[in-house]
Amino acid sequence: MIVSEARMEIYAEIAAGICEEMGNRLRRAADSPNIKTRRDYSCALLIETEHGLEVAAQAAHIPVHLGSIDTAVAACRALEPDEREILILNDPFAGGTHLPDITLAARAKAGLWLAVRAHHADVGGLHPGSMAGTREIAEEGFRIAPTRFSNSLLEEFARRSRNPRERRADLQAQTAALHAGFERLEALEKRNHPLDEMLKAILETQARRFETAFTRLPDQSVSVEDFLEDGEEILPVGLRLTLRNGRFTFTFSPTPPTKNSNLNAPFSVTRSAILYVLQSAFGDARFPTTAAARFLTIEAEPGTLFHATFPAAVAGGNVETSQRAVDLALQAFGKILPNRFPACSQGTMNNLTIGTDTWAYYETIGGGAGGAPEGPGASAIQSHMTNTLNTPAEELAACYPLRLVRNEIRRGSGGRGRHRGGDGLIREIEVREECTAGLVATRRRTAPPGAAGGESGLPGRDILIRFDGSEEPFRETAHLRPGDRIRIETPGGGGWGR
């Protein structure tokens, strides 16, 4: 179906509006600050085409969610559900990302699917927040293979997680979001809008744009290397990018799975990172789809860092290794198109968790964005695979026994260059009761690289300040007492140009 540019924009607005309304209902109905305030969730419309199940429309939510949500819905589709029957999963080895990301999906009508993914503040892992300190998937929480959603499953999930009331409310809010999508689709049908044709037209138009952009690039192959911190060990990671006849092949080095952390990335996460880079660099922001996957091959050996297999721990792979996959792809494209791509951003999400057996706080913390050919990088911002807000000081104190002590820009942490990298953040939190804290973060011993001769940004730094004023490094997990503080100093972005 070939349509005019003006009509295409109308179609895209209609489809995106459905996803936005789903997200709005989720946010209003949710109980946790992680969803209702930080907005750690994503909504999408998917359609079955000759190329498989493809994301045709999405709200502007979380890139690491949306580039992988089609794999989760495809796993659910195998159950052959009835129309509007709600399915659920979070299994990283069956289409999911990591266990806190719970996906609900439903077939709205033949060939058309709705999906809602939300990061839950806790799913019953080894430590509060279900992120830090794990070495295998069994320690990371309640794992749900693709299955039919039911009240009994909801109750089991709530019971096995910290703060059951909050978990129950957030999951029910996700079902409400799906129903918002049903209502919008039903209203469109009554007005005889050909939504199936709209979505396919959006995908075909975006695919043609990708094909045109890709075929203009000369055939070539480049290789790049970076690093990922596995506890005290620093792992070299590499990527070879090959372009032949308008098709990309991304080949990741067969880095062994991590032994000292949970940074193993499911293949869906690695794929999501690459789709994000292609969409950002070559796509049209008005039409965010997975159409680029039609021109893409990703090679990552099963059982390695970028293609985790059971029983690997993956909680950090979704948030940290995804960022390194983006860094590798940006550096590779920087060799092909040196005056178009930015330097690396902070390269981490700085995942902080704090809690007890009855409550759990989770937050990702912004840092510096990489400098670019167009200008300096932004400071104190979420970049690349994450797109969330912070938790305001007032809500932090109202919902948890926590107090925000400092929240300021980490001046001078961005890399120098013709266009300087953005500065990181300093975020310091005091605890008011005995609890456990966890941190999943990288770029502490290796710096975010600059580009085109720009300097690297400063690595991050994490400090425990005890109630008596003494300081010690904060690594992975720590037991805290009232008056203890955690200070997270996030990395700056790399500079661009000499």
* Average pLDDT, integer, range 232-237: 94
Give yes or no for residue 326 having a pLDDT over 80.
yes
Question: Which domain, by its residues, includes 375?
Answer: 342-498
Give yes or no for residue 289 having a pLDDT over 80.
yes
Whether 445 maps to a domain, the answer reads yes
Whether 248 maps to a domain, the answer reads no
Q: For position 477, what pLDDT does the model report? A: 96
Last residue of a domain, one of 171, 206, 241: 206
Whether 298 maps to a domain, the answer reads no
3 state SS for the chain: CCCCHHHHHHHHHHHHHHHHHHHHHHHHHCCCHHHHCCCCEEEEEEEEECCEEEEEEECCCCHHHHCCHHHHHHHHHCCCCCCCCEEEECCHHHCCCCCCEEEEEEEEECCEEEEEEEECCCCCCCCCCCCCCCCEHHHCCCCCCCEECCHHHHHHHHHCCCCHHHHHHHHHHHHHHHHHHHHHHHHHHHCCCCHHHHHHHHHHHHHHHHHHHHHCCCCEEEEEEEEEEECCEEEEEEEEEEEECCEEEEEECCCCCCCCCCCCCCHHHHHHHHHHHHHHHHCCCCCCCCHHHHHEEEECCCCECCECCCCECCCCHHHHHHHHHHHHHHHHHHHHCCCCCCCCCCCCCCEEEEECCCCEEEECCCECCCCECCECCCCCECCCCCCCCCCCHHHHHHHCCEEEEEEEEECCCCCCCCECCCCEEEEEEEECCCEEEEEECCCCCCCCCCECCCCCCCCCEEEEECCCCCEEECCCEEEECCCCEEEEECCCCCCECC
Q: What share of the chain in percent tops pLDDT 90?
A: 89
Last residue of a domain, one of 179, 206, 233: 206
Whether 393 maps to a domain, the answer reads yes
Please tell me whether the overall predicted TM-score, pTM, comes out greater than 0.85 for this model.
Answer: yes
The total of structural domains in the chain comes to: 2
Whether 281 maps to a domain, the answer reads no
* Average pLDDT, integer, range 156-176: 96
Whether 251 maps to a domain, the answer reads no
Least confident of 191-205, 248-262, 374-388, 474-488: 191-205
* Average pLDDT, integer, range 329-350: 95
pLDDT confidence band for 232 (50 / 70 / 90)? confident
Last residue of a domain, one of 206, 229, 247: 206
Whether 304 maps to a domain, the answer reads no
Same domain, 202 and 348: no
* Average pLDDT, integer, range 202-209: 92
Whether 99 maps to a domain, the answer reads yes
Give yes or no for residue 91 having a pLDDT over 60.
yes
Q: For position 1, what pLDDT does the model report? A: 54
Digit-coded pLDDT (tens) for 340-379:
999 999 999 999 999 999 999 999 999 999 999 999 999 9
pLDDT confidence band for 195 (50 / 70 / 90)? confident
